Amino acid sequence: MTNAGINTAPETKQVSVTTTAAPISDADEIVPLLSVLADPNNTDVVYIGSVGGQSFPLWAANSVLMLAVRPKDIWARANSGTQMLDVIYLRRAI
């Protein structure tokens, strides 16, 4: 069976992260695959996690892949200043 006519291309967005924790997306559905990449030009670490705490560090050019997650439940905060994350998510299984 093929996926004719179904867009399976990943969606991308760039997220600005400050020292105040916030969700990385407002997407409320569970996505099969989510990739979060710290921009290579970041000058400090970005921490990701949940609303209850962000403790997983992402240094510049580092990434993490997550399976079957709800993007609005992933929160991020910058250690200092404003840093950038590139969020790539696949909304439909390939």
pLDDT at 89: 86
- Classified as helix, coil or strand, 54 is strand
DSSP state of 56: E
The model's pTM is 0.85
pLDDT at 15: 96
Spell out the residues 6+ positions from residue 17 whose beta carbon is closer than 8 angstroms to its own.
Answer: 24, 46, 76, 77, 78, 82, 83, 84, 85
Q: How far, in Å, CA of 4 to CA of 74, rounded?
A: 31
Per-residue pLDDT of the chain (94 residues), as tens digits, is 455 545 567 789 999 999 999 999 998 989 999 999 999 999 999 999 999 999 999 999 999 999 999 999 999 999 999 999 999 988 765 5
Amino acid type, 9? A
